[in-house]
Amino acid sequence: LDFFTRGDAPPLPAPAPQEVLMLTVQGAETVDKAGLRAYMAAVKARVDAWLAALDDAALSVKDDRLSAALGMEISAVWVLIMLASHTQYHLGSCDAALRDHGLPGVF
């Protein structure tokens, strides 16, 4: 979320190295619950501020940083679409994992 909504601000300090967060490697240390909750609260505050600043006109404004990073033109409306669809992807993954283990799914 921070990657998509931070604008030109520096990224928030993450609770683990980027390679661990992207599941490229398995981290040696465990992130504690308090650290994870603090990170989640900071990201939520940044996302809430980004959403609050949007108006109809801002939805179509190109985000230069994201456009350069992703190699295509990205506006705020596309950020919203990507965030919603990516969240659905993760919910579906959780649903499948739960059902594979005989538990009720998310949906």
* SS3 annotation, 28-69: CCCCCHHHHHHHHHHHHHHHHHHHHHCCCHHHHCECHHHHHH
pTM of the model: 0.73
pLDDT digits (tens, 9 = 90+) for 26-78: 878 778 889 889 999 999 999 999 999 999 999 999 999 999 999 999 999 99
3-state SS class at 75: strand
* Stretch 76-86: mean pLDDT: 91
Which residues have C-beta within 8 Å of that of residue 29, sequence separation ≥ 6?
16
